[in-house]
Chains A and B, each alone.
Chain A
């Protein structure tokens, strides 16, 4: 009886290892495929969002704003002198 049980246990352990190994391999393959193909999955390291350089240049450019200037229409009420 003991001689028949021992080979059966070996076959059972082998079957368990085969199933566990197969499952691990299947999981790793699925993850690798998901990384490559799934639209929402990160493929590269994340980088912070940043506005493009030309836009920043425009924003900076516009910060010193011009006023309205025209030829005088009446006698000046005030004088601008160097400060």
Chain B
């Protein structure tokens, strides 16, 4: 998944199962492994899905519904057009400009069969959060699983943020534009795409951290809150979700403040 995975509270056997779980998710949903099921279905314009793929697609559609379309699984072509067309380790900076944007598009699912008709799926908006939650369920006792800063806990865990530390039970995720950034013809690009325009979103926030019952809840809400810009803190408050926003200044929404003061 292009990130470090940290596990505590796992026996050697549980650790092996967790390693196998992440490997299975990466082999199925990677955009950069030619043989992944995601790439096979995108290239073929759809086809029959494995049960795991169908389950994660359903989760992605749930996330789209929960966020009024902000976290959308049909933005694979937009990401590639912006220049995120290879593993980050390979370096993405290029002299040529980003290609024409591709906004979110409709696709169909008929039972286990996916009909894409040119749509390029990218399920990584939910894959990592889901994998972290599943891995945390395999822990033998209290502990946590963290992948690239997205965390699922079994029991309370103290987590450091930029300039603050909090005690979390459940999930915590930080979405931001500071880490996965690259240049196309000197113009900065990042991986959080605005589904209405198909280009990297403009937001006053560089990072949004959300605490959720699960890592998936937190990750989906953090992405949506960042894309919502100034409306993000209120949107999280209306759902009872604590959120911390880092832009030119650090802003905690009312739910976060109520929990941490």
Contacts and interface: CB of A to CB of B under 8 A. Distances in A.
Nearest to A74: B158
Interface in B141-192: 144, 146-151, 156-161, 165-180
Interface string A57-83: 000110111111111111111111111
A56 to B, nearest CB: 12
Contacts of A75: 158
Interface stretch (B44-52, B93-101, B211-219): B211-219
Given A66-B212, A67-B168, A82-B180, 20 more contacts: A61-B238, A65-B212, A65-B217, A66-B242, A67-B172, A67-B218, A68-B168, A71-B167, A76-B158, A77-B157, A77-B159, A79-B159, A79-B160, A79-B161, A80-B151, A80-B159, A80-B161, A81-B149, A82-B178, A82-B179
A83 B3 contact: yes
B211 A66 contact: yes
Q: What does DSSP make chain A's interface, helix, strand, loop or mixed?
A: loop
Given A67-B170, A69-B166, A80 B209 contact: yes
B240 A83 contact: no
Interface string B207-238: 10101111001111100000000000000001
Interface string A21-50: 000000000000000000000000000000
Contacts of B213: 65-67
Interface of A: 60-61, 63-83
Interface of B: 3, 6, 8, 62, 65-66, 128, 144, 146-151, 156-161, 165-180, 206-207, 209, 211-214, 217-221, 238-242, 255-256, 259-261
A72 B211 CA distance: 14
A77 B165 CA distance: 10
B165 A83 contact: no
A71 to B, nearest CB: 5
B173 A66 contact: no
A32 B155 CA distance: 67
Nearest to B3: A83
Given A61-B239, A65-B213, A78 B144 contact: yes
